[in-house]
Structure 1
């Protein structure tokens, strides 16, 4: 099996992992898995045998980044219990269990490879993609399973935004991702039960129109905890009520209340990012000004639906 890909941080190796790990597994266990192999370029090649002591030779130009990434992806896929199981491990500080981070899982698997290959060192872009692979649950049912995954789609979108920022341009209007619409589609496709926890809704101070429900509020603290109430900004996901402002193609501008009878200025957006009064940067930034909105405690949402911002479910 050959994978034609450059050893570049921006190269998409993540989408190749399902086919790669299935191929490696079929080589190591030829009598317990169907052998699947496709030919392509000549950069990263794995050759399997069918002898009783089967093995797979995984290599690239330097045996350092591309090939190591494929081997680490396989270890995470085949032996997840070695790196935290179902993403939980015992905390060394107590008897309680804590959630293992993707970074910890990937680093642990890479360390296993380094025991035999000390020079193993995937580039930073591949390390991030391995973390995403773990967060996805290492899906490998078919070649397209990663492409269909919401985490992968969000990663591609973030990459597109980065390219736009590098060129000092707003993203193309047709490519903007509105999180409330995306989640609604995902729920329709998966038909899964989603429960929102208690939190605070953000409403326009002037007309009381709901602007964002708890599931669409973004933390911008280094620890990921709730933002300090002293921050002047409340950062939220890109929501469909912002469509008119964002599709004009401006790099930054005002956000106004979607209530046509109000149209009060409630915040601002900046594709290049904004710095909060707490000195933290958020990129891209969709900010609601705390002096222009109210934060109201929200009741738990039923398990049968995702609570959406106004305009998505007919609520005020």
Structure 2
């Protein structure tokens, strides 16, 4: 199969050999060609068409997400001009399918998921199968809302930062201070609360210094532990965070110099200095059995966690449920206890 049409669209997916089939290109009214190849296609074969190059290899770790906006604009320009568009890679299986899925998601943000878009493409070309890394990037693009541009999106910036951390850890060292994305310097007002409109505040139990709010907290799924009789949930002992500026002295005790891969997180209040948690750039396994990478965790035994409601109701402390005679008065913020 040299190339196949995506049902309902004047977009074709194919391999590099599709460029040599002039008759098929003419019958399909191909006017624009996207080449998803590291070193591009045959320029002699492309000279009769409008062309766009997406220089990527078909490997999980390749950043194909950064190319989505320009490729989508190019595809749309070809369709708007009344032509058809061929998106090809070497085999017409992974890179080309990924670009086409990104286009479909962008055009039908509310109606398609990455898996649904892939299923649609497979109706015309069953062999399409983006590699796992590309599918993860498509899921991220979908989570971002399929924006016109990705460079400045917080989720994309966070993803790039995590890639930098992974590269550094693979070399046996902590990331550079200049490459760390501090969440409290990048969160927008729209990110200050959970989906239900509530927000969480975490403070040092010893001095009450605020350490984190909702945007900086990383949620992770708890995994079930086997025990002799049944599968049970083990409560998490730490609250994992994205990097915060106050952590700098713990993460980078020598400034821009060599930094430790792991260590303790110390309360930033100079008169306190309490040990409030630990960090490990290479990751930690939470006691709920979930791996968090990189891991910057506040120990629940060392902090107080308060959840504020979005309504006019008073804030409540998230902690151990106390007996009636020992509960703080309604509206009090003195509740203590582990999450």
TM-score, scaled relative to structure 2: 0.66
Deviations 1:121-171 (A, max 9, x none): 11111111212222222233xxxx222222221111111111112122100
Asked whether 1:258 is paired with 2:268, we answer: yes
State which of 165, 168, 172 in structure 1 corresponds to 2:172: 168
Shift of 1:194: 5.5
Counterpart mapping for 1:89-108 below 5 A: 105-108=113-116
Asked whether 1:204 is paired with 2:233, we answer: no
Shift of 1:235: 1.9
Counterparts of 2:107 and 2:198, CA distance in 1 = 37
**CA gap 1:26/1:246 in 2 versus in 1, 3 angstroms:** same
State which of 22, 37, 50 in structure 1 corresponds to 2:73: 22
Counterparts of 1:195 and 1:274, CA distance in 2 = 26
The residue aligned with 2:62 is 11
Counterparts of 1:215 and 1:127, CA distance in 2 = 25
Shift of 1:61: 0.9
Counterpart secondary structure, 1:80: coil
Asked whether 1:296 is paired with 2:306, we answer: yes
Asked whether 1:148 is paired with 2:161, we answer: no
Q: Answer with 202-211 or 54-63: which moved more.
A: 202-211
Asked whether 1:239 is paired with 2:268, we answer: no
State which of 56, 69, 94 in structure 1 corresponds to 2:85: 56
Asked whether 1:267 is paired with 2:281, we answer: no
CA RMSD of aligned residues (A): 2.4
Q: For structure 2, list consecutive stretches of 5 or more residues without a partner in the other structure.
A: 1-51, 224-232, 254-258, 313-339
Counterparts of 1:297 and 1:21, CA distance in 2 = 41
Shift of 1:72: 1.1
Q: Answer with 258-267 or 72-81: which moved more.
A: 72-81
**CA gap 1:80/1:262 in 2 versus in 1, 3 angstroms:** closer
Structure number with bigger Rg: 2
Count, aligned residues = 245
The residue aligned with 1:67 is 96
Q: For structure 1, list consecutive stretches of 5 or more residues without a partner in the other structure.
A: 31-49, 84-104, 303-316
TM-score, scaled relative to structure 1: 0.71
Cα pair 2:192 2:214 within 8 Å, conserved: no
Counterparts of 1:193 and 1:154, CA distance in 2 = 14
State which of 132, 137, 142 in structure 2 corresponds to 1:134: 142
Counterpart secondary structure, 2:175: coil
